Structure 1
Amino acid sequence: MRDKKYYLYVDSQERTLLLQSLVELKNELIQQGRYTDCVDELIFKVTKASVKKVKVDRKSCGCVI
């Protein structure tokens, strides 16, 4: 059976915050002398992920503008 795929939609600010958090986590793991392989893979996936423009209907999402 194939693995289920999950998609994460983030804007540019959220993507930047995600990358900064992953780098901070990697630095903490290095200071503790632990492996960083999983975090490295996530950083690689986030940086290589394709960027797609998606139209969001703000009225239906319950957001207050």
Structure 2
Amino acid sequence: MKEKKNHLYVDSQERSILLHSLVELKNQLIQHGRYTDCVDELIFKVVNAPIKRMKIEYV
């Protein structure tokens, strides 16, 4: 069975907020002595995600 893929489209401001919150979560996990592997993977994916230009029309 194929794994379902989800795509998330965010603008530069949302991307910045997402990165800051992931780093904050990582810092909290480190303070509690827990593993940060999954958060590290998410940070890596967000930083290296391709930028796709989209035109949005408001009605």
TM-score between both structures, scaled by the size of structure 1: 0.87
Q: Unpaired runs of 5+ in structure 1?
A: 60-65
Amino acid at match of 2:22: L
TM-score between both structures, scaled by the size of structure 2: 0.96
1:33 correspondence with 2:20: no
Q: Provide the identity percentage.
A: 68
Cα RMSD for the two superposed structures: 0.6
Query: Hey, which bits of structure 1, 4+ residues long, moved more than 2 A?
Result: none
> SS where residue 27 of structure 1 aligns?
helix
Structure possessing the higher relative contact order (Cα contacts under 8 Å, 6 or more residues apart):
2
Which protein has the larger Cα radius of gyration, Structure 1 or Structure 2? 1
Number of aligned positions between the proteins: 59
